[in-house]
Amino acid sequence: MEKRRIVVGVSGATGVCMARYLLTELASHECVETHLVVSAGARRTWELECCEPIDALLALADHVHSAENLAACISSGSFQTDGMIVLPCSMKTLAQIAHGIADNLLSRSADVCLKEGRRVVLAPREMPLGAVHLRNLKLAAELGCVIMPPMLTFYNGPVSVEDQIWHIVGKILRQFHIEPQRFHGWEGAE
């Protein structure tokens, strides 16, 4: 069975720990191969927000690429992937993707996925959103990105922040037709 390739970008917005949950879930699916790009901003945010070393995140990926390596395999459309997830997506990364500024591997990989017609899911993290952010989100959506802000949900009966994160990860993975193990979707009401 050929593995599905998913590129995971982690940019420097708050919430970098969500990437660990995403990669943990993806690692549990034998049919998925992950390619991870962590921006310099994300590495710094990880130091500020997370208790474990960044190596714990990197160890979850099948392949880790330097954000400065524009010659990495994922920088070319001839390297087949199923698409890309940027979690969290900073407003800087959003702007780069929306405006085709591919000056690092994270934004270049998204650019490649878009030009090749592959799914790109952005999980923007900013609050409140200013007019320029909203304009860039709209532009990214018009270009084909799926915009999935990590919103709180309550219909799934969460009792912890971790429950909320697993729900966000599940919603993102369903965009790639990957059924998450820790996801509890809406089942209707009587």
- Which residues are annotated binding-site positions for FMN? 12-14, 39, 90-93, 125
Contact 158, 167 (CB under 8 A): yes
Residue linked to tokens 């087949």 = 80
Contacts of 168 (CB under 8 A, 6+ apart): 18, 123, 148, 150, 151
Encoded tokens for 38: 């962590």
Binding residues for dimethylallyl phosphate: 155, 171
Residue linked to tokens 């018009």 = 142
The CA distances from residue 78 to 6, 9, 51, 124, in Å, are: 15, 19, 38, 28
Cα–Cα distance between 137 and 5 in angstroms, integer?
A: 25
Binding residues: 12-14, 39, 90-93, 125, 155, 171
- Cα end-to-end span (Å), the chain: 41
Encoded tokens for 83: 């698409």
Q: How many CB atoms are located within 10 Å of the residue 38 CB? A: 26
Encoded tokens for 179: 């059924």
